[in-house]
C-alpha cells in the first residue's frame, strides 16, 4: 500500500516540474502563486484534459502548444460578476470620482480583468458621472481567451436581476437594462461601454509597468499570489500611479504585510481603496 505522504510528496514534485515546464516552454510563470490554489486548479485541469497525473498533463502541454491557451485560461481566471461588492463601487463613485474629475484626461488600469464584468461596471458608473469620454481604461489579463470573452460583453441573462440590484446598490442612477440588449438566454452589454477600453495581455508576475494611471483596480487577484509576489505587484502599482493616484484591491486583500504599504494612504478600509502618497 502506497504511503499517503509519499503520494503528497510526489504530487508536490510533479507540480514543481509543471510550473518549470510552463515557464521555460511558454513564458508563463506560476511560481509565485499560492500553492494551495495552484494545486486545486491543476487538479481541475487534469479532469478537464482527462490526464491521470500532473506529469501526464505536463507532457501534453509541452507537446501540444495549441492547448496552452485553454490551460492558461483555466489556471488564471477568477470568478467575478457585474457590480461585485456594490459598496466598493459606491465608494469609488463617492470618494474617488470627484477627485478624478479634476484631471483633463484619466487613465484607469483594470488589472486581471477576467471576463470583463468589472470593466463594464466601471464604465457604466463613469458614464453616469460624466467622466467616461475623458477616460481611457486599460483592461489587462494573462489569458487571451478571457480577454476575447471580455470584448464580447455577453453574459447569462439569468444573472440580470441580481446584477440590477447590485447596480443600484453601487449608486447607479438609471436602470441597468438601459445598458444591454437581451436575446434568448443572454444579455449583451452596449458596445459603447468599451469604446474607451483597450484590452491587452499582461502578466502581473513577469511583466512591468503597463501605463501611467490615475486609478488602478486589481480585485481578487492578489489572494492567489504568495506574499513576495504580492509585494512585487503592489510595488509595480505604486510605480504606475501618478502622485495622489488611487488603488483598489479586493475586499479580502490588504497591504498589512507588504513593504509597499508605506507608499499608500488608506482611504476606505471596507472597500480597500488606497491613495498613493504625494511624497513617494
Are 204 and 133 found together in one domain? Answer: yes
Residue 145 and residue 227 share a domain: yes
CATH of the domain at 101: 3.40.50.150
* Residues 13 and 94 occupy one common structural domain: no
Same domain, 10 and 90: no
Looking at the domain assignment, is residue 143 inside a domain? yes
* Residue 101 within any structural domain of the chain: yes
Condensed to tens digits (0 to 9), the pLDDT of residues 239-248 reads 999 999 999 9
Taking the mean position of all CA atoms in its chain, how far away is CA 13? 29
Q: Is the pLDDT of residue 109 over 70?
A: yes
Residue 111 pairs in a beta bridge with 140
248 and 145 part of one domain: yes
Band of residue 190 on the pLDDT scale cut at 50, 70, 90: very high
Total domains, the chain: 2
Please give the distance of CA 81 from its chain centroid, rounded to a whole number: 12
Q: Is residue 162 part of a domain?
A: no
159 falls within a domain: no
Report DSSP state, residue 70: H
Confidence bin at 219 (pLDDT 50/70/90): very high
The model's confidence at residue 6, banded by pLDDT at 50, 70 and 90, is confident
- Is 142 in the same domain as 245? yes
Task: Please say which residue of 76, 104, 127 terminates a domain.
Answer: 76
pLDDT average, residue stretch 208-225: 90
Quote the pLDDT of residue 194: 95
DSSP 218-252: E-SSGGGB-HHHHHHHHHHHHHHEEEEEEEEE-TT
Residue 206 and residue 72 share a domain: no
Asked if the model's pLDDT at residue 79 lies above 80, the reply is no
Give the range of the structural domain holding residue 47, as residue numbers without chain letter: 4-76
Q: Specify if 184 maps to a domain.
A: no
Residues 250 and 213 in one domain: yes
Q: Are residues 212 and 131 in the same domain?
A: yes
Classify residue 170: in a domain, yes or no: no
Does one domain contain both 17 and 69? yes
d(CA 58, CA 37): 18
CA distance 27 to 20: 9
CA-to-CA separations, 253 to 207, 221, 228, 234, 272, in angstroms, rounded: 21, 9, 14, 12, 8
pLDDT of residue 279: 65
Beta bridge partners of 154: 188
Q: Which of 71-75, 89-93, 106-110, 128-132 has the lowest mean pLDDT?
A: 71-75
Shared domain for 43 and 124, answered yes or no, is no
| pLDDT band at residue 148 using 50, 70 and 90 as cut-offs | very high
Query: What number is the average pLDDT over the span 47-64?
Result: 94
Amino acid at each position: 500500500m502506497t504511503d499517503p505522504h509519499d503520494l503528497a510528496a510526489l504530487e508536490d514534485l510533479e507540480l514543481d516540474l509543471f510550473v518549470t515546464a510552463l515557464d521555460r516552454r511558454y513564458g508563463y510563470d506560476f511560481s509565485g502563486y499560492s500553492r494551495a490554489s495552484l494545486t486545486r486548479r491543476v487538479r481541475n485541469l487534469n479532469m478537464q484534459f482527462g490526464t491521470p497525473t500532473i506529469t501526464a498533463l505536463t507532457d501534453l502541454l509541452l507537446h501540444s502548444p495549441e492547448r496552452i491557451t485553454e490551460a492558461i485560461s483555466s489556471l488564471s481566471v477568477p470568478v467575478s460578476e457585474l457590480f461585485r461588492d456594490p459598496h466598493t463601487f459606491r465608494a469609488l463613485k463617492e470618494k474617488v470620482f470627484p477627485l478624478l474629475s479634476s484631471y483633463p484626461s484619466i487613465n484607469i488600469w483594470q488589472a486581471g480583468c477576467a471576463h470583463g464584468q468589472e470593466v463594464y461596471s466601471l464604465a457604466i458608473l463613469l458614464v453616469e458621472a460624466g467622466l467616461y469620454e475623458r477616460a481611457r481604461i486599460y483592461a489587462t489579463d494573462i489569458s487571451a481567451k478571457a480577454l476575447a470573452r471580455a470584448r464580447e460583453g455577453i453574459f447569462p441573462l439569468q444573472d440580470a436581476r441580481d446584477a440590477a440590484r447590485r447596480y443600484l446598490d453601487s449608486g447607479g442612477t438609471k436602470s441597468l437594462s438601459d445598458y444591454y440588449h437581451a436575446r434568448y438566454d443572454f444579455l449583451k452589454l452596449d458596445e459603447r461601454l468599451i469604446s474607451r477600453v483597450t484590452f491587452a495581455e499582461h502578466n502581473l508576475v513577469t511583466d512591468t509597468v503597463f501605463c501611467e494611471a490615475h486609478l488602478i483596480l486589481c480585485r481578487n487577484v492578489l489572494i492567489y499570489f504568495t506574499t513576495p509576489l504580492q509585494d512585487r505587484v503592489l510595488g509595480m502599482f505604486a510605480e504606475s500611479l501618478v502622485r495622489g493616484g488611487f488603488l483598489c484591491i479586493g475586499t479580502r486583500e490588504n497591504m498589512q504585510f507588504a513593504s509597499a504599504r508605506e507608499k499608500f494612504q488608506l482611504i476606505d478600509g471596507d472597500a480597500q481603496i488606497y491613495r498613493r502618497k504625494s511624497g513617494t
